[in-house]
Amino acid sequence: MLVFLTFKEGLTWDWILIYSGWLIFFHPVLLTYLSNQLCDHFSHLYSQIRPRFWRFALQILLWDSLMILSLICLSGVALFLQGNLLILGHLIPSYRTCQSLKRDFPQAYQEPISFWNIL
């Protein structure tokens, strides 16, 4: 979507609303689904993973809110810069969450898990 916006007319208000709706409604659904699937797969770690996962989910929703505000503030900035800032805004919290989970639950990362098994 960001590539499309970059090569088209840029971030207009209708695209900001579409993107905001995707962040607000899709992320919680995806996080809930993945939380349930991961906790089913790692049932022996269920009591440890569940509270931490929801903390990370709240952090991601906070980042989403900041992204929406930045979209509004960046409407006058060059499109290439908008795209880069939005991509970095997604990569940084994802990387931090992944590193924190690896540190807190190393045994979960030692067990091989197929992406399709989670879905």
Mean pLDDT per 10-residue segment, the chain (119 residues): 53 66 68 67 66 70 71 67 70 73 68 57
Distances (CA, A) of 91 to 3, 11, 14, 94, 114: 16, 20, 24, 5, 22
Amino acid 35: pLDDT: 66
At residue 78, the 3 state secondary structure works out as coil
Q: Rounded to an integer, what distance in angstroms lies between the CA atom of residue 84 and that of residue 2?
A: 9
| DSSP string over 32-67 | HHHHHHHHHHTGGGHHHHHHHHHHHHHHHHHHHHHH
Structure tokens at 110: 């030692």
pTM as predicted: 0.44
